[in-house]
Homo-oligomer: A and B are copies of this chain.
Amino acid sequence: MLDKTLSLNGKIWFETPDGKLLGHGRVELLERIQQSGSLRQAALQMKMSYRQAWDMINYMNEHFGAPVVISHRGGKGGGSAELTEKGLKAIEQFKLFQQKFQEFLKTNSPLIQI
């Protein structure tokens, strides 16, 4: 019998041998940094601590081949953060596979037979 209350879901991410590198949450963080130009603002928008956001960016900067975010402290506005080409490419690529994955879920979910 087909159970409509039962659905297939999941998540995907990019990883290196060291572990997870980029998933949905970090992509959203990168996008908000790109839009606001501020790590602090991005963290606030996502209701996460600045510390956690900084740790995420720091981890990515150290594990992608090159930094995904360049940050500046001091100066006008107190400081800022901006995405690198690598960061932009990472977002674009993840979204591509994310879209494919959503299609995978959408086509397979209705096929559950329990």
Question: In A5-52, which residues have CB < 8 Å from any B CB?
Answer: 5-17, 20-21
Name the residue of chain B whose CB is nearest to the CB of A5.
B16
Contacting residues, chain B, for A7 (C-beta < 8 A): 14-16
Interface residues of A in 37-89 (CB under 8 A from B): 64-65, 86, 89
Interface size class of A (residues with CB under 8 A): 20 to 34
CA distance A96 to B14 in the complex (A): 24
Q: Judge whether A114 and B101 touch: CB under 8 Å.
A: no
A6 to B14, Cβ gap below 8 A? yes
Minimal Cβ-Cβ distance residue in B for A23: B10
Instruction: Determine if A3 and B108 form an interchain contact, defined as CB atoms under 8 angstroms apart.
Output: no
8 pairs of A and B residues whose beta carbons are closest in the complex: A10-B12, A9-B15, A89-B114, A5-B16, A104-B104, A93-B114, A10-B11, A6-B14
Interface, chain A (partner B; CB < 8 A): 3, 5-17, 20-21, 64-65, 86, 89-90, 93, 97, 100-101, 104-105, 108, 111-114
Inter-chain pairs besides A6-B14, A9-B15, A10-B12, 18 sampled, C-beta below 8 Å: A5-B16, A6-B21, A7-B14, A8-B97, A9-B12, A9-B13, A9-B20, A10-B11, A10-B13, A11-B11, A12-B105, A86-B114, A89-B113, A93-B112, A93-B114, A97-B111, A97-B112, A100-B104
